[in-house]
Structure 1
Amino acid sequence: MNNKTMKETRHIEIRAEQSESKEMVITGTPIVFNTPTKINDPMGQYTEVIQRNALDGVDLTDTRLLVSHDYNKIPLAKTPKTMELWTDEKGLNMRAVLPDTEEARSVYTAVSRGDMTGMSFSFTCDRDGQSYDVEKRTRTISRINKLYECSIVNFPAYQTASVEARNQMQEAEQEEKRKEQAKIKINQLLKRGI
């Protein structure tokens, strides 16, 4: 297993903000710190926690606001000019002023009406920035390397994890099984010797 980082995606809620200047403003908290989140994955469900300091020192000046992670479309906003990102004790907060385009108006209307209620983000995290507890099936992220984008999405309940994260968790679970098998063999040998 190499230390190559894989991009990952998570989903959180978003809301439209009423602006006196008629600007279309979207706000949200894409990342919530120290909150256990259930992640559905092909290898099974596990819990994930992003620690409070996971974004410390991360450059947030080149992050985009997209719709459904579509990198082929023009972003709705970009830091630092049309989107602000900042952290507090709760998590990463986002405020974006949308452009006067057909897509942005559609997205703003959908968020205002509650038709689109989710927000997602894509990030990378290397092996040193995460740990996995096999018994609790809990992944803890202590350091995010890069936050690529935040997206407004249709289905915030769907969440994906990277191949690297799955590999790390599978390795940890296989190691735990090997330990259990070794204990069984030792007990069998001890019983034979008695």
Structure 2
Amino acid sequence: MNSTLDLDALDFSKGNGLVTVVTQDARSGVVLMVAHADREALEYTLRTGEMHYRSRSRGLWHKGATSGHVQRVISLAADCDADAVLARVISAGPACHDGTTSCFRDTALAADVIGALDTTIAARQQSLRDDERPSYTQRLLTDRNLRLKKLGEEAVELATACVDGDVERATEETADLLYHALVALRATGGTLDGVRGVLAQRAGLIP
């Protein structure tokens, strides 16, 4: 855990003993939830490396203790007024009690357009048996030769656009290549979160 959090410097008085905690996915940047914590909850968080909160109705609350959807802390940092904390975490499951990734629904996920695309691809994969007329994505998921062919074509088209110095076409071809790469990754059993984890580790954002 990379924490610059000084509990003695936090101002718990503004919130009657509580500070606001904004919890963010350390890989995608998506805001997962907003909750509160008192000093005890933050002490448990620092001690265990997993998020603890203070609920006005439930008391001290270890996120995921019941569901298994624990939030492993990557970093904790206070805001400029010292009455709010940004918690960057890796979540073992959905952050919201209703099973969604974020408590902010589509609003938060819209900031992560590539994540939204990956979610759509996953949904197409889930409904493969239900759809009588497969979509283009479903055809790619079920046809290895087709998806590898398209992946190669998009890579060549991107390279050609770069050689030509055509910024607009290179941008569009990059988007096409990302889509086909995500489909190919999903078909092999990989996930976008796995890619994010590799990139975050390489960038030193997560251990």
Q: Fold-level match, TM-score > 0.5? A: no
Name the structure with the higher helix share: 2
Name the structure with the higher strand share: 1
Q: Which of the pair has the greater relative contact order for Cα pairs under 8 Å at 6+ separation? A: 1
* TM-score (normalised: structure 2): 0.25
